[in-house]
Each structure stands twice: as structure tokens, then as C-alpha cells.
Structure 1
Amino acid sequence: MTGFAKLDGLDFPQFDPGTVWLVGAGPGAPGLLTLLGYHALAQADAIVYDALVNPMLLDMARPEAERIPAGKRGGKPSPKQADISDTLVALAREGKRVLRLKGGDPFMFGRGGEEAGVLFRAGIRFRVVPGISSGLGGLAYAGIPVTHRDANHSVLFLTGHDETGDVTALDWDAIHRAAPVLVMFMSVKHLSTITARLMAAGRPAGESVAIVSNAALPQQSVIETTLGAVAGLCEIATPAIVVVGPASRHRAMLDWYAGDLRENPLG
């Protein structure tokens, strides 16, 4: 027995009816799904999935599994978070094995903690299956290590706005001082304001910025610029991760995801 056939004999956790698994789908490439995530896809009766989930993953599910889109994209009509959580509870109470499939990692700016809290209060058993966050795996596909001995020993992950969508309410002085490398999720909409705030807090206009769009996908693109030049950018493809600081210093050597390596849709 070789290869993936060996998985058939493994003792995977039981995915019981009436329970919910919150599974991270990874940053884009379907090949970055975990083994537990793949097991959940093979067992689920209902899949509630985000807009950023690769459609190839849904093709791995059982044909009879119900597929329910629950994507939230900035600036576009999206389901309310409360409605998504209520859907998970309702499906579980119907006795279904419910898979909540989320881009990246459920607990890394994915509202997985909120959904798990709702399930707990509703008395629904759940399991969390971590995924590879785009702030780690997506940057690795762009040749950007979030830490490197020659560049930084700490990193700060943050979103580009608070819970109200306001960017100016964040303490940008504290953010500037917190770490040499900042990795920002959901920040493209307010990026010009964010970079201006960071420079006002003391970051130099010439500091490096890398913007990774469609991470870990064949159409991945990377913009390398500076804080002072961000405001002049005409268009940035989304979804995107923004990295401020010296993390991209070695990208010229580490930019491995190129050429024919992008031809495999699994990553």
C-alpha cells in the first residue's frame, strides 16, 4: 500500500450527526487542506462555505452533500454573521454532520471564535480544524518568510479596520512600535489611509511594502513598493495580504512559486 491509499486505514475522529466541524481551507491552493479537513469533506452532510474557499475543495465532497454559500466580501452583499451562525445551529439540530469551511484558519480573523461561541451556547458539539492562514502560507507562496533572523524576530498580525470598519480609531502609534513587520488582512480598501497613519507614527516613507493578491493560486500577483508610494497605486487585486517591513527583503532569492510550478491547480 502506497501514497494516499494508506489514509484509508487511519483511525480518523468520528464526525457525528448533529455536530459541526469548523475547518480551515487554507490560503487558496486546495492542496494545502489538512488531512482532517479532507476527512470532514468526505463525511459532511452539509457544507457552509466562504467565498474564498477554492471550488476544487467542494468537488471533493460527497455528491449528495448540501452546499450552502456563506461568503462575506467587503463592499458586496453578504450574509449577516448572525444568520450564518444560526444556519449552523439549525443544520446541526436537523441531525446533519455540518462542515463550516472557512478560508485560511477559522480562528485567524475568520470569526470562527464567534461561531464556536454560538454553537456552545446552543448546546451543539463542535470541533475546530486549524488551517494554514494566508498570513503565513500565502506569504510563503510569495517567497516572504514572516520571520527571518536577518530581518525580524517578531511580527504583528492585524486587520485594516476595527469592528465598525473605521481605520482611524486604531492606535497606529502602538501598532508602529509593536513589531518591525506588520501583516495586514482586509486592508486594501483603506490602505492609503493606513500607510499615511503609519508614516505619521514614525515609519519611514521608504520602508518596504509587499502586497500579495490571490495568494497560493496560479493567478497570484505581488506588488513590491514602499509606504510612501502606496497612495499612488491605481489598482490592487483582492483578496490581498499586505506586509510592511523587512520581511520581503529576501524575496529575490525565495520567490519559488513561478513558471511551470503554477500549472498544478492543487498548489
Structure 2
Amino acid sequence: MTALFGLALTGRRVVVVGAGKVASRRVRRFLAEGAHVCVVAPAASDDIRRHAQHGDLEWRDREAAAADLDDAWFVLAATDDPAVNAAVVSWADARRIFSIDVSDGSRGSARQAASSQHGDLAVGVVSTEGPDPARIRAVRDAVAAHIDAGGVDLRRRRTHEGRVILVGSGPGDPSLITVRGRQALSEADVVVTDRLGATELLVTVPYDVEVVNVGKSPDNHPVPQHEINALLVDRAKRGLVVVRLKGGDPFVFGRGGEEVHACLEAGVPVEVVPGVTSALSVPALAGIPVTQRQVAGTVVITSGHAGADPTAVAAMVEGATLVVLMGVNALPGIVQAGLDAGAAPGMPVAIIERGSTPQERITRTVLSDAVRSAGETGVKPPAIIVIGQVAHPELLASAAAATPHS
């Protein structure tokens, strides 16, 4: 029977003897954990050489000696010579240093788990008999996929300090939330949600999770921002994990900065999980690249609440891409300001309603006709407005035809 323990290697010296493919793979993991890695080998893979050149690790360009293990906390014997690996493990045993022999799992005093990270939880799989890396990786991947899909309740069972996690849920398609965002929902005792974004994910949270809807629409703000801030702080101070589920990205016109400030001011720990912002993803899903070589090298993102500010007007005049969020009601003023400043009347415009969802609809027009077209098609929020040559419906086809193929 193998007793399983986790080793904290951050800031501690790890010695890797060997520098081939297996060693390179393990070295990346040690570096990711913040270990101080020393590789000892007369020849090294390109990957290890590059890490050494960047100062990520120390590479001793020679055969290993017992003294290389001095001050080490952990040793990995990963050469292609079983006799050398056996010697390295014996040196480690003599020094009471945990070690792994990659060529023979029966030697050495430790076994490396195939692991996955899920927020503040790590899940590891090891074989208690002969080593079988492909098998334990397959089990690890299956378990990780189940957890990350929301199949496991990750809420803490013991009393703990409350905290707030701001999660960007993306533009609306639930599959576009990040892995960390999905994990955070599985940790939540409370979810404070907007009206937009991937709210479909809420059907997956356990029934005893408190869900508070504070969503706004253009003309209806039932819960003022200061009350939302107070709600987050109140629940966290009760020792609960509060997920603030926001559409798009929390820091792109999502008032996430205000909510973080409120938490920090109240002494509440807060984590920000970036989201896929609708400003970039919704045009992309509609086949509109907001930047395109030889078409537009600059993109300006603005809010309809700002109206036709000088930067937005300059973008239309100078040929940059202008992306307007929450801009349906402000469209007439933005269009008129652009035309008055000299923007081309034939500048392409795309208005994308409910992007990334089954209800997505795209209205294509030009700047001088944008207001009329929006009225005729009955454009309604939420919508992303893209103004610029990148919104031309034939852009990608023409760019592909003009690009030489090797």
C-alpha cells in the first residue's frame, strides 16, 4: 500500500538528472510550481537549453555526481541509462531525499502523480503497483473533465474565510466561459448574477446555492451599484464564497473595478477571473476580425453611454475599427457625429444582436444608412456595433484571395 502525500516544492531546490524528453516534461511542471531547478546532464533538449538561457533553471553541463544532490529537497533520475538512475536514487536515499526513478517505479522513495488543478484543489492519480503513465493520465483527464464540467460540488465543508470571485461568463454561449470560471461556480455558496452573459450555467448549480439576480436592462436598473457592492461584502463577511457572475469580461464596461474596490476596502479577499469579452468575441463569431492586416491596425472599444466622444469620432474618421457596446440607443448620435466630422458615408457597419446565442442576428449596412437600417430591422439590445472596413461582408474572402500561398 502506498501512502499519498503532496510535496510543496515552491522555492525549494529540485535536482533533475537527465535532460531528454521525459526530463523536459517534468521540468516544466517543477518550474510551474516555483521550484528552483538544477538539471545535470552532458547534453540537453532544446527546451531545457532555452530555459537555461532565460535563467529559468540551472544546467550543469556534465555527468552527475553525488554532490549535485546537496541541499536538494527532491531528486528526479531521468536519464536513459537505468544504472545511472539507480545510482542517483541510492545517493538520494543516503541523504534522506525523496526521489523518483523514471526507469523503474519500484526504486526511489516517491511517485509523481498525474495531476490537475481546479481552483485551490489539486487532484492527483498514482499507480500503487508498476508504473503506467498512460493509464494514470487517462484517469486524470477523465476526472478533470468531470470536475471542470461542473459535475462535482467544490464548496467547502468547513468554516472558512469568505471571499468574492468576479467571473466573466463570456458573451452568452455557456461553452465560452473559462475553465477557471466554471470551477468558481462549483465553489459558490452564493451567485450574484447579471441579466446577460452565460446565465444558462445557473441551472447547473446545486439547489441550495443562493442565486441573486441584480441584472440591468437599458431603462431598468432595479439594484443600484452601491447595493450590489454591499451585497457582495455582506455575504462574504458571513464566511461564504460569493461568485459575481458577469457578462463578457468583468473589467470591460462591467463595473468590475468598482466591485473589487468595494471588497478590498471592506477587507474581503477577491479574485478576478477574466472572461471572453463580447467586444472582440461577438464580431469574431460573426466572421468580423476587429483588426486585419492592411485594413485596420487599431481598434477602439467604447460604450454607448459615452456617446460620440472624441476618440470614437476620430476612429471613424481615421479608418480604425470602432466597436460600440450598449450602443443601440446612442447609434443616431454616434453616426451623425462621425458623418459631421468627415467619416466616409459608405463605411461598413455591422450590428450583431445577441451574439453567440441561437438568437444571434446580424444587420449589415453602411454608416449613412445605419440608423434607418436599424429601425427597419427592429434592432434591440443587447447588440454589438462594429463600424469600419473590417465589417465589410466580403473582407475575409477578398483578403484570402489577395494573400499569396506558399
Pair in the same fold by TM > 0.5: yes
Of 179, 194, 209, 2:349 maps to 209
2:225 corresponds in structure 1 to 81
AA in 2 matched with 1:243: V
1:5 corresponds in structure 2 to 143
Q: Structure 1 pair 113/230, CA: closer, same or farther in 2 (3 Å)?
A: same
- 2:155–2:188: 8 Å Cα contact kept in structure 1? no
Q: 1:208-257 deviations in whole A, cap 9, x for unaligned? A: 00001000001100000011001213221220000000112355758xxx
Alignment gaps of 5+ in structure 2: 1-137, 149-153, 398-406
* Residue 211 of structure 2 corresponds to residue 67 of structure 1: yes
2:260 corresponds in structure 1 to 116
When structure 1 is superposed on structure 2, of 171-180 and 69-78 the one drifting more is 171-180
User: 1:9: how far off?
Assistant: 8.1
Q: Structure 1 pair 178/228, CA: closer, same or farther in 2 (3 Å)?
A: closer
User: 1:55: how far off?
Assistant: 3.3
- 1:47–1:66: 8 Å Cα contact kept in structure 2? yes
Of 160, 164, 179, 1:20 maps to 164
Q: Structure 1 pair 30/228, CA: closer, same or farther in 2 (3 Å)?
A: same
| Structure of larger gyration radius | 2
User: 1:188: how far off?
Assistant: 0.5
AA in 2 matched with 1:85: N
Q: Structure 1 pair 4/100, CA: closer, same or farther in 2 (3 Å)?
A: farther
AA in 1 matched with 2:209: A
When structure 1 is superposed on structure 2, of 230-239 and 119-128 the one drifting more is 230-239
* Residue 246 of structure 2 corresponds to residue 102 of structure 1: yes
Measure the CA separation in 2 of the matches of 1:112 and 1:55: 17
Q: Structure 1 pair 155/253, CA: closer, same or farther in 2 (3 Å)?
A: closer
* Residue 196 of structure 2 corresponds to residue 196 of structure 1: no
* Residue 386 of structure 2 corresponds to residue 243 of structure 1: yes
Measure the CA separation in 2 of the matches of 1:61 and 1:9: 13
Q: 1:157-196 deviations in whole A, cap 9, x for unaligned? A: 111223xxxx36x225444457610001111001011100
Find the residue that maps to 2:244 and give its secondary structure.
Answer: strand
Q: Structure 1 pair 101/8, CA: closer, same or farther in 2 (3 Å)?
A: same
User: 1:146: how far off?
Assistant: 1.0
AA in 2 matched with 1:5: V
User: 1:138: how far off?
Assistant: 1.2
- 1:156–1:179: 8 Å Cα contact kept in structure 2? no
Measure the CA separation in 2 of the matches of 1:48 and 1:9: 22
TM-score, with normalisation over the residues of structure 1? 0.85
Find the residue that maps to 1:73 and give its secondary structure.
Answer: coil
When structure 1 is superposed on structure 2, of 143-152 and 180-189 the one drifting more is 143-152
Q: Structure 1 pair 218/152, CA: closer, same or farther in 2 (3 Å)?
A: same
Find the residue that maps to 2:329 and give its secondary structure.
Answer: helix
AA in 2 matched with 1:6: A
TM-score, with normalisation over the residues of structure 2? 0.57
Measure the CA separation in 2 of the matches of 1:9 and 1:244: 41
- 1:155–1:179: 8 Å Cα contact kept in structure 2? no
2:401 corresponds in structure 1 to none
Q: Structure 1 pair 178/124, CA: closer, same or farther in 2 (3 Å)?
A: farther
Q: Structure 1 pair 173/211, CA: closer, same or farther in 2 (3 Å)?
A: closer
Q: 1:55-95 deviations in whole A, cap 9, x for unaligned? A: 32102223311000011111124311111111001110111
Find the residue that maps to 1:209 and give its secondary structure.
Answer: strand
AA in 2 matched with 1:207: M
* Residue 360 of structure 2 corresponds to residue 220 of structure 1: yes
- 2:162–2:268: 8 Å Cα contact kept in structure 1? yes
- 1:158–1:185: 8 Å Cα contact kept in structure 2? yes
How many residues align structurally? 247
Find the residue that maps to 1:188 and give its secondary structure.
Answer: coil
1:151 corresponds in structure 2 to 295
Q: Structure 1 pair 46/179, CA: closer, same or farther in 2 (3 Å)?
A: farther
When structure 1 is superposed on structure 2, of 102-111 and 244-253 the one drifting more is 244-253
- 2:319–2:389: 8 Å Cα contact kept in structure 1? no
Which protein, 1 or 2, shows the higher relative CO under an 8 Å CA cutoff with sep ≥ 6? Answer: 1
Q: Structure 1 pair 179/160, CA: closer, same or farther in 2 (3 Å)?
A: farther
Measure the CA separation in 2 of the matches of 1:216 and 1:225: 20
Find the residue that maps to 2:392 and give its secondary structure.
Answer: helix
Q: Structure 1 pair 57/14, CA: closer, same or farther in 2 (3 Å)?
A: closer
Measure the CA separation in 1 of the matches of 2:250 and 2:218: 18
User: 1:125: how far off?
Assistant: 0.6
